[in-house]
Amino acid sequence: MTQSSRPRTARVARRAVSGVSRPSPADAAPPRIAGDVSNAPAESPDALPNLTKYLSTAGAASRRHAAELIKDGHVSVNGEVCVDPSVRIAPRDRVTLDGRAVRPVREYVYVMLHKPRGYVCTAEDPHAPKKALDLIDLPGVRLVSAGRLDKNSEGLILFSNDGAWIEQLTHPRHGTRKTYQVTTDRPLSSVDIRLLTTTGVQNDGETLRALSIRSEAPGRYIFILGEGKNREIRRMMESLDNRTRRLKRIAVGGLRLGGLPMGQWRKLSPSEAQLALSSNPSDNRPTGSETRSKSGQKKWSQRSESNR
Q: Taking the CA atoms of 273, 153, 175 and 253 in sequence, report the sign of the dihedral they define.
A: positive
Which three-class secondary structure string do you get for 1-35? CCHHHCCHHHHHHHHHCCCCCCCCHHHCCCCCECC
Decide: helix, strand or coil at residue 125.
coil
Q: Are 260 and 253 in contact (CB under 8 A)?
A: no
Dist. CA 304–CA 273, nearest whole Å: 9
Q: What angle separates helix 163-170 from helix 63-71, to the nearest 10 degrees?
A: 110
Dist. CA 52–CA 65, nearest whole Å: 9
Measuring CA to CA, which residue among 165, 164, 143 is closest to residue 49? Answer: 164
Q: Which residues pair with 208 in a beta bridge?
A: 201
Q: Does 27 qualify as catalytic in the annotation?
A: no
Dist. CA 230–CA 66, nearest whole Å: 19
Q: How many CA atoms lie within 13 A of 184 on its CB side?
A: 28
Q: Which of 150, 162, 185, 283 is catalytic?
A: 150
Q: How many CA atoms lie within 13 A of 8 on its CB side?
A: 12
8-state DSSP, 131: B
Catalytic residues: 150
